[in-house]
Amino acid sequence: MTVRLADVIDVLEAAYPPRFAQSWDSVGLVCGDPAEHIETVTIAVDATAAVLAQVPERGLLLAHHPLLLRGVDTVSADSAKGALIHSMIRTGRALFTAHTNADSASPGVSDALADALGLRVTDVLSPIPTGPALDKWVVFVPSGNPADADAVRSAMFAAGAGQIGDYSQCSWSVGGTGQFLPHDGATPAIGTVGTVERVAEDRIEMIAPASRRTAVLTGLRSAHTYEEPAFDVIALAQTNGDVGLGRIATLAQPEPLSAFVARVRDGLPATSWGVRASGDATAPVSRVAVCGGAGDSLLAEVAAARVQAYVTADLRHHPADEHRRVSDVALIDVAHWASEFPWCGQAAQLLRNHFGASLPVTVSDVRTDPWNVEGSCT
């Protein structure tokens, strides 16, 4: 049995939306024809020659790390990465990348890491705003003639305002008193030049996408009876959802840092890098932060998260040292590959749940961690 590549991409992009990717990242289809059919999926952290050797012809390789990212200006067959691309194309194999979009998705890379360690996720360490950027519009319309307010509403609705989810033409109104003093050169619709005028007015509120700001203002001005309509445009704060980098999680029972470090070592695949920790070995741990992949950019968030420990990868000497000087949060540093490998199983289960027996899915057993030689004691 086969499945159209485009159908697999739809599932992957629904689970790991490309819009969650960092601006510098490169995610999505690298090679392959979405209209063609694939017979298998192989999942790995990195697209290497050893991993590609496990991918059958007409198979898809789903990789976490981009094969092609910064500074790529050739895929010549005599270059290391170009050779992989040519090999895949010649044998009908496809390559798809889910990187920082999978890091931020829910569930995503850090959720898989927390699950591998037996933790229960409760929050996002560094959430990102979800939903569109919105404005709240406040417009003041004379209330003597209801048709005036209806005309302004209708013009703003037509320009894209007043939409909330599956509801349209949403607005709110309340009465009040407006005041203004027309000066020389004004042509007031109500009142006279040089005289303070007080008018019963309706305050009308509605929201609109920030991207529609010019269109909504044009509609408002064209429908309003005043020469100079009074209005406010308030940019609304975007709310955070359950997506973003890193996770905050809890243990079922508190345990000493030394026991928690052992839990991390036992829960992740073995690497030459191993597991390193910094902190008081006897300190109790019950609430932790985790971030699959390089995580020292989140040390400030970790220090403010009311956690006792932080599990991540690629912690550099100086950021770790600076953190330990000002924070009691223990640091547990693991290999980059090991911290992200649990995501491969998560992605595999996603595809198995959707396609079942029609699309065999396997996780590559190749350890693509570049550190592969351990020193020995004599």
Q: Which residues are annotated as a binding site for a divalent metal cation?
A: 64-65, 103, 336, 340
Task: Report residue 243 CA to chain centroid gap.
Answer: 5
3-state secondary structure 238-279: CCEEEEEEEEEEEEEEEEEHHHHHHHHHHHCCCCCCCEEEEC
Cα(270)–Cα(334) distance, integer angstroms? 10
CA geometry: angle 136, 137, 141, nearest 5 deg: 155
Contact 167, 192 (CB under 8 A): no
The residue among 266, 316, 259 whose CA lies nearest residue 288 is 259
Number of H helices, E strands in the chain: 11, 17
Residue type, 176: G
Binding-site residues, in ranges, read: 64-65, 103, 336, 340
Q: Pick from 323, 280, 318, 321: which is nearest to 298 by CA?
A: 323
Whose tokens are 């990212």? That residue is 69
Q: How many CB atoms lie within 10 A of CB 161?
A: 28
Contacts 24+ apart (CB under 8 A), 150-157: 151/223, 152/204, 152/220, 152/223, 152/224, 153/204, 153/206, 154/223, 155/219, 155/220, 155/222, 155/223, 156/206, 156/208, 156/216, 156/219, 156/220, 156/223, 157/206
Residue 292 and residue 349: Cα distance in Å, rounded?
18
Task: Provide the token pair at 159.
Answer: 């320009």
Residue 42 carries which side chain, given as an amino acid letter? T
